[in-house]
Structure 1
Amino acid sequence: MAEGVGPRLYSCFNCRNNVALHDDIISKAFQGRNGRAFLFSHTMNIVVGAKEDRQLMTGLHTVADIYCCDCHEVLGWKYERAYEETQKYKEGKFILEKSKIVRENW
């Protein structure tokens, strides 16, 4: 018998609001502010904050912090612009910090 019903999800660790689908993970090999992070192609139920230039490990990027739409916890950031050609693939993608999300429906 199949236990899991529906898609595997990630939720906000604080309020359990669904924020991303497991199938939208591009990479698990990213670094966030507080440790490991995942790069996602899409997220849901989030609010995108103000854009700012930030010097990250891979160079200068324009990013916007992303927040849970229910409890307003900062979950990661959205890449708005990459200044180096090799980093352009990140534009429009989302970082969710592993410490800020929990697995649901696994």
Structure 2
Amino acid sequence: MADVIRPRPYSCYRCRNLVSCHDDIISKSFQAYNGRAFLFSHAMNIVLGQKRDQQLITGLHTIADVYCSDCGELLGWKYERAYEESQKYKEGKFVLEKFKIVKENW
């Protein structure tokens, strides 16, 4: 019998609300407000804050803060728009701070 492949979920560190999966990680080498972060292609069970322009290490972007939909914890941000051509791949993607998410059952 074949092994069942289960998704490896990440949850909010505060309330354990499921927010993303390991398979959605694009990069583990991002910097966020408080240290290391992961770039995800998808996030779930989140609430987006107001869009705003922000000067980041890689240039000007339009971002929206990402909050846990259960407890309201700030987890990171979503790239809404990248102004520099080399950064366009980030549009629609999510940065979640490493210390704000936890691996669940893996």
TM-score range, shorter chain: over 0.9
Separation in 1, partners of 2:69, 2:29: 26
Separation in 2, partners of 1:5, 1:25: 17
SS at match of 2:38: strand
- Deviation of the 1:92 alpha carbon: 0.2
**RMSD, aligned CA:** 1.2
Separation in 1, partners of 2:6, 2:95: 23
Separation in 2, partners of 1:91, 1:85: 11
Separation in 2, partners of 1:15, 1:28: 23
**1:28 match:** 28
Q: TM-score, normalised by structure 1?
A: 0.94
| Unmatched segments (≥5 aa) in structure 2 | none
Separation in 2, partners of 1:21, 1:80: 21
SS at match of 2:88: helix
Q: Percent identity?
A: 74
| Runs of 4+ in structure 1 over 3 Å off | none
**2:47 match:** 47
Q: TM-score, normalised by structure 2?
A: 0.94
